[in-house]
Amino acid sequence: MPALTGKVALVTGASRGLGRAAALELAAAGAFVIGTARSTRAQPSRPDRPDLTVDTTLDAIHAAGGMGEAVRCDHTDPAQVEALMTGIRARHGRLDILVNNAWGGHDDPGVPGGGAEVWDEPLAQLRSMLLAGAYSDYVTGLLALRHLMGPAGQGVILTTTYHTDEPPGWLPYEVSKAAKNRLTYVLGEKLRGAGIACVAVSPGWMRTELMLEHHTPEELAGQTETPHYAARALVALAADPDVARHTGRVLDVGDVARLYGVTDVDGSQPQWHAEHRGGPQDA
């Protein structure tokens, strides 16, 4: 029997990249997966990429024999998230796994590109990243706890993030990811007595759909990984009855893979060390 049979999972930002892979891998492990995103078949965020919607993710789940549903939700809007949680409670009565994966701001069309010097950075850039990152996680996590997980004293909150670089990289990106990481730590500490673990995972350079659009095969050669590698790490953590031992921590995907015997789709176990980190990821 698959490890997560009978579990209900929510994956935010499930239209592409790691969110899509996480939804597919959780469903393959037996969970009923609720995937959310702003991009739907009726309202695609990228009309030129109709394959990148939460509906096409659900299609892939069903095609593989899994179970789930797709819900349009902007996780920066508390009202939409409140409605999402109320709906999950009405339809399923529980939530066992929350994957806070929704993130954006690096490709916001309303924010111009980064400056040549740090003082030239657009002032709106950090705000955009924080809203779509740590604030989105904050809103979704607290409302999930309020409506579903906290009162039941059950479940695990998993967050996709990135270990900040040394020396530091792009200023707004580094600050936004640091906020996500600190949120994981604080929630983990606050929930230690509630039976709810909070763990973040940091992937390496993933060959997501958008990375494949913007980089040549030569640039992506070497120590890169598919989004399914990190997604399988998330499944392993969600299935671990002793996941609380990791609470409040940010774990590299390679370390999780070694601990649980997880591999990428080609059977490899990429190890993404600090000296290989090349910059912002689609995660």
pLDDT tens-digit map of 199-238: 999 998 776 666 666 667 666 666 688 899 999 999 999 9
pLDDT tens-digit map of 237-276: 999 999 999 999 999 999 999 999 999 989 989 887 544 4
* DSSP structure string for 127-154: HHHHIIIIIHHHHHHHHHIIIIIHHHT-
**What would you measure as the largest C-alpha separation in the chain, in angstroms?**
55
Structural domain contains residue 253: yes
- Say how many Å lie between the first and final Cα of the chain, rounded: 30
pLDDT of residue 214: 67
**59's tokens:** 């299609």
Give the chain's domain count.
1
Q: Give CA angle at 252 (229, 81), nearest 5°.
A: 75
Can you tell me the distance from the alpha carbon of 201 to that of 272, in angstroms, rounded to the nearest whole number? 12
Structural domain contains residue 198: yes
pLDDT of residue 221: 67
Rounded to two decimals, the pTM is 0.91
Structural domain contains residue 1: no
Can you tell me the distance from the alpha carbon of 154 to that of 98, in angstroms, rounded to the nearest whole number? 11
**Structural domain of residue 144, as residue ranges?**
8-276
pLDDT of residue 223: 63
- Any idea what the CATH number is for the domain that residue 237 is in? 3.40.50.720
Taken in order 204, 74, 84, 187, is the CA torsion positive or negative?
positive
Structural domain contains residue 282: no
**9's tokens:** 């999972």
pLDDT of residue 105: 62
Residues of the chain with pLDDT > 90, as a percent, come to 69
Structural domain contains residue 55: yes
Helix 171-190 / helix 136-144 crossing angle, nearest 10 deg: 20
Structural domain contains residue 175: yes
pLDDT of residue 117: 85
pLDDT of residue 113: 55
Q: Which residue has the tokens 């400056």?
A: 115
- Single-letter amino acid code for the residue at 242: D
Can you tell me the distance from the alpha carbon of 260 to that of 258, in angstroms, rounded to the nearest whole number? 6
Structural domain contains residue 245: yes
pLDDT of residue 22: 98
Residue ranges for the chain with pLDDT beneath 70? 1, 105-115, 207-215, 217-223, 273-283
Structural domain contains residue 266: yes
